[in-house]
Chain A
Amino acid sequence: MKDHETLSERLAEQGISRRAFLKFCTALASLMALPPESAAAMAQALAKSLRPSVIWLSFQECTGCTESLTRSYTPTLESLIFDMISLDYHHTLQAASGFAAEKSREDAMKNFYGKYLLVVDGSIPINGGGVYSTIAGRTNLDLLQETAKGAAAIIAVGTCSSFGGIPNARPNPTGAVAVSDIVRDKPIVNISGCPPIPSVITGVLAHYLTFGTLPDLDDLNRPRSYYGTTIHDRCYRRPFYDQGKFAKTFDDEGAKNGWCLFELGCKGPTTHNACATTKWNGGTSFPIESGHGCLGCSEPHFWDAGSFYTPLSAPVVNIEATTLGAAIAGAGVAVAMSSLDRNKIHRAQQAHEIMSVKDL
């Protein structure tokens, strides 16, 4: 490895100007809600570094998280893996298979012990001694423990590795758990979402490469800059909620006019994620803009929080009908979301507890 060659030299060789690079860092800094002066620090840090080694382990997963990463625009997957990091192990992308693939992982662990980043997607099954998912004849549990040892930090990508995800949904047939249920002695960032927004994955990587630290995290170890507010807080349909204008079916006048999807089961009010602001696929749209309520996919146990089409404030079980349903319909409720009781939201999301319009 040529140790004199830095990222800025590499970029210059490829005809990428310092100006363009700084622009990229500024965009990243603003995406992450960092102060403007941090763009320069970010540029400096990124430019100086050799590409840090990243080992990506895939366990009980569907490859949706990796697919999401390939849709990233800021930066693109190409610039991420050719210019910023050295992706030394990643099943879906790497050329080598079998023994040669495992050797790549072992080499990276040896050469960068204590320094490499470990990314995990997918949950880890622990029932039956872990037989429900093996790689090269070894259980996911075994591989995670071995690879975590020398990791500087762990990034859990997706709701499965962050919170257990769909394999962990009732009745959790394989005993699927999250990374943080197994690894206790390493810093862990949870980038939840099913899948997560690609720029959130790349943004957290860039933050780590720049500052050598993990970003500010919330109580579920998610980066606050992306998961600090609910989707409902930032939704372009929020004004209709405040005016009491709700779509009643998926193609009525309200639906066509972009009215609020609360009554069709939208989980935006209890879901912390950046979909409404960063949007998806290069800012093209996000679920609510395309007419479907938010599924709540970045929250723990969202699979078990009742039907996706049951309004949040309505009971999922046959509890005595509350006055809420009636109260919401057509009612003009304008309560600032910032005053929301975050704990209340969490509890409601997890237990599908009844929330009143006043709570929102």
Chain B
Amino acid sequence: MTQTIVVDPITRIEGHLRIEAETDADNRIIRASSAGTMVRGIEIILRGRDPRDAWAFAQRICGVCTLVHGIASVRAVEDALKIDVPPNAQLIRNLMIAAQFVHDHVMHFYHLHALDWVDVISALKANPKATSELAQTVSPSYPKSSPGYFADVQNRLKTFVEGGQLGIFANGYWGHPAYKLPPEANLMAVAHYLDALAWQRDVAKLHAIFGGKNPHPNFLVGGVPCAISVHPQGSGEAGTSLDMGGLEKVQNIIRQMRDFVDQVYVPDTLAIAGFYKDWSKLGEGVGNFMTYGDFPAKGMSDPSSYLIPSGVILNRDLTTIHPVDLDAENQIQEFVAHSWYDYSVGKEKGLHPYQGETELNYTGPKPPYANLDTNASYSWLKSPRWQGKAMEVGPLARVLMLYAKGHEQTRELVDMTLKKLDLPVAALYSTLGRTAARTLETKVFADSMQGWYDQLIANIKAGDVKTHNDKLWEPASWPSLAKGVGFTEAPRGALAHWAVIKDQKIDNYQAVVPSTWNAGPRDAAGQEGPYEAALRGHQLYDPKQPIEILRTIHSFDPCIACAVHVTDPNGVELIKVKIK
């Protein structure tokens, strides 16, 4: 006897995601389907626009990883029109992308993922003094660790809970036996949930200095919009936010970022992981990993200078890295066999993004509905494939790539983590491994920021304040037909935009986003996407409280932007029991 468990909306993610999971008599998931239930058609909206405007449209794909689509878009146009970006602009972009990683990963850990592992209500039972001792053992250098501090946090929480209005904490799965942390660890994590909220507000200012605001900072084809207002010979007339004061603020934010990562995020991850080691055997996914690479030291045209290398790992084999070619028509293709789209070549064939089509064709059940027909089309996401294979993208893919390529700091961090948790390398291929990889790469990128900042200052000192290449700014200077691909590593994984520019307007625009790689539905050959593969085999302790599904789905950090809502069994009524 099987039953279908629906989780919709899946919360604490970006967007609208739905998971339908078929379980056997032991409540073990035998087949999972991941569905994106919202679409806006931004690729359609982009057609006919000025390519220089495209970044602003594309950026609105997502307000969480708020700059990555802007970056991918300006790079696509620059690739198409062969525009080089000045070194300062490249450094500023590196700093902005890295800041996005650090900000986003910390928020994901504390505000989106933590509540799967941390029982907020249990924190009420903690002894503040013992919590302080725990915190000082876990992270001796973090100052907010006195018994009084934890007593205050606990008191605040107590007032809140006793007030009877639980707000965002209402109806959580509190008290579920899957929560393993002692009350003191829960209280420490709740305190850091609040600390991280305050911290993220401050460090988001880096984007405001370079891009005018966050979320949705501004970008510019050919460079960055903010001129550098440093006047060694005296003061200018007014200036921009990027003056000496602004640069000094950037330096302070880099320090603040590194301190929080070193003193809070990394130690918390290791401490919490120690209680959940059984999750190092669950939630692998497809075993194939892909990165496009990013953080160039010498410009996008020199991949050997990237901090994150590009490549493909197949079947966990770290000894062979396959090269990725974003232009090759037989490498990256999108399939729509189980998606609510039509292709002019038929639903079974894959299309390279340059030939990509976005024809909405909803064939799902008429709302309100209880279940999707997961044998037919069931998602607004397409199924991207590399040489026909499903790929996982994101922190785990990047850490594996850096590890495989012998990146020294990554090797040290991974080895330290595995040693501390007493786990083998194979433990990386799991829900726990994915979450830990996110933390470790945050440290690598946060530490790298200082070097880019120092280089920027050195350039300015040497008199180079160029931030924009305007040689091909005017559309009249463009060829009548051009096409290009812009790629970046977004917090959730490899991201690329393909743009075809005809007569100075966008003729076709296709974005293949990380969460499409990870959350996409089965393809024409029936191969699952990473979410679907990762959920298979999970045993649910209580199908009415499917916390196990949330843990693994959240370990990918879904950013559906056309996101999918996961629905758990809607009481008894929504569990559809099929007798086989």
A and B form one complex: yes
In the bound complex, CA of A147 to CA of B24 (Å):
36
Which of A17-25, A164-172, A218-226, A320-328 has 4 or more CB atoms under 8 Å from chain B? A164-172
Q: How far is the CB of A55 from chain B (nearest CB, A)?
A: 11
In the bound complex, CA of A88 to CA of B11 (Å):
13
- Contact: A1 with B220, CB < 8 Å? no
- Contact: A136 with B229, CB < 8 Å? no
- Contact: B570 with A99, CB < 8 Å? yes
* The one of A100, A133, A255 that contacts B240, using a Cβ cutoff of 8 Å: A255
In the bound complex, CA of A325 to CA of B239 (Å):
25
- Contact: A98 with B225, CB < 8 Å? no
Known: A95-B115, A97-B566, A135-B16. A284 touches B205 (CB 8 A): yes
Task: Report the interface size class on chain A.
Answer: 35 or more
- Contact: A91 with B11, CB < 8 Å? yes
- Contact: A258 with B226, CB < 8 Å? no
Known: A51-B165, A136-B9. A96 touches B362 (CB 8 A): no
Which of A35-43, A200-208, A288-296, A343-351 has 4 or more CB atoms under 8 Å from chain B? A288-296
In the bound complex, CA of A289 to CA of B574 (Å):
53
Q: For residue B362, which residue of chain A has the nearest CB?
A: A131
Query: A residues within 8 A CB of B211?
Result: 287, 290, 292
- Contact: B226 with A62, CB < 8 Å? no
- Does A104 interact with chain B (Cβ within 8 Å)? yes
- Contact: B571 with A99, CB < 8 Å? yes
Q: For residue A169, which residue of chain B has the nearest CB?
A: B45
In the bound complex, CA of A102 to CA of B10 (Å):
11
Which of A148-156, A181-189, A209-217, A302-310 has 4 or more CB atoms under 8 Å from chain B? A302-310
- Interface flags for B93-110 (1: CB within 8 Å of A; 0: not) read 000000000000001000
Query: A residues within 8 A CB of B205?
Result: 281-282, 284
- Does B413 interact with chain A (Cβ within 8 Å)? no
Query: B residues within 8 A CB of A251?
Result: 223, 227-228, 465-468, 470
In the bound complex, CA of A61 to CA of B467 (Å):
32
In the bound complex, CA of A168 to CA of B67 (Å):
22
Known: A167-B41, A174-B40. A2 touches B370 (CB 8 A): no
Query: A residues within 8 A CB of B231?
Result: 256
- Does B64 interact with chain A (Cβ within 8 Å)? yes
- Contact: A104 with B60, CB < 8 Å? no
Query: A residues within 8 A CB of B536?
Result: none
Query: B residues within 8 A CB of A64?
Result: 60, 62-64, 66, 215-216
Which of B134-142, B154-162, B384-392 has 4 or more CB atoms under 8 Å from chain A? B154-162
* The one of B120, B204, B574 that contacts A99, using a Cβ cutoff of 8 Å: B574
In the bound complex, CA of A93 to CA of B9 (Å):
12
| Interface SS, A side | loop
Q: How far is the CB of A58 from chain B (nearest CB, A)?
A: 8
Within residues 99 to 146 of chain A, which ones have a CB less than 8 A from any CB in chain B? Answer: 99-104, 107, 125, 128-139, 142
- Does B164 interact with chain A (Cβ within 8 Å)? yes
In the bound complex, CA of A286 to CA of B10 (Å):
34
Counting chain A CB atoms within 10 Å of each CB, which of B15, B37, B120, B561 scores highest?
B37
* The one of B11, B171, B216, B569 that contacts A103, using a Cβ cutoff of 8 Å: B171
- Contact: A291 with B38, CB < 8 Å? no
In the bound complex, CA of A129 to CA of B363 (Å):
12
Q: How far is the CB of B130 from chain A (nearest CB, A)?
A: 22
In the bound complex, CA of A97 to CA of B380 (Å):
20
Query: B residues within 8 A CB of A72?
Result: 201
In the bound complex, CA of A242 to CA of B473 (Å):
27
* The one of A61, A93, A131, A236 that contacts B168, using a Cβ cutoff of 8 Å: A93
- Does B14 interact with chain A (Cβ within 8 Å)? yes
- Does A76 interact with chain B (Cβ within 8 Å)? yes
* The one of B173, B201, B466, B473 that contacts A70, using a Cβ cutoff of 8 Å: B201
- Contact: A137 with B368, CB < 8 Å? yes
Query: B residues within 8 A CB of A138?
Result: 367-368
- Does A285 interact with chain B (Cβ within 8 Å)? yes
- Does B208 interact with chain A (Cβ within 8 Å)? yes
Which of A26-34, A79-87, A329-337, A352-360 has 4 or more CB atoms under 8 Å from chain B? A79-87
Q: How far is the CB of A291 from chain B (nearest CB, A)?
A: 4
- Interface flags for B258-281 (1: CB within 8 Å of A; 0: not) read 000000000000000000000000
- Contact: A136 with B40, CB < 8 Å? no
Query: B residues within 8 A CB of A295?
Result: 56, 218
Query: A residues within 8 A CB of B164?
Result: 1-2
Query: A residues within 8 A CB of B111?
Result: 93
Query: B residues within 8 A CB of A290?
Result: 208-213, 217-218, 225-226, 240-242
- Interface flags for B175-211 (1: CB within 8 Å of A; 0: not) read 0000000000000000000100110111011011111
Q: With A70-B107, A281-B207 given, name 12 new contacts (CB 8 A).
A: A62-B14, A64-B62, A64-B66, A71-B200, A93-B168, A95-B173, A169-B45, A250-B225, A250-B227, A251-B223, A281-B213, A289-B212
24 inter-chain pairs at a CB distance below 8 angstroms, sorted by A residue, are A1-B164, A10-B163, A63-B62, A65-B63, A67-B64, A70-B107, A78-B194, A85-B167, A90-B168, A96-B172, A97-B9, A97-B12, A99-B574, A104-B171, A130-B367, A167-B45, A240-B237, A255-B240, A256-B228, A281-B208, A290-B212, A292-B226, A303-B45, A308-B53
Q: Can you list the 6 inter-chain pairs with the closest CB atoms, starting with the nearest?
A: A64-B63, A258-B238, A98-B568, A95-B172, A173-B41, A287-B212
Residues of B that sit less than 8 Å from A by CB:
6-16, 18, 37-42, 44-45, 48, 50, 52-53, 56-57, 60-64, 66, 107, 111-112, 115, 120, 152, 155-156, 159-160, 162-173, 194, 197-198, 200-202, 204-205, 207-218, 220, 223-229, 231, 236-242, 246, 249, 360, 362, 364-371, 380, 465-468, 470, 473, 544-546, 550, 561, 565-571, 574
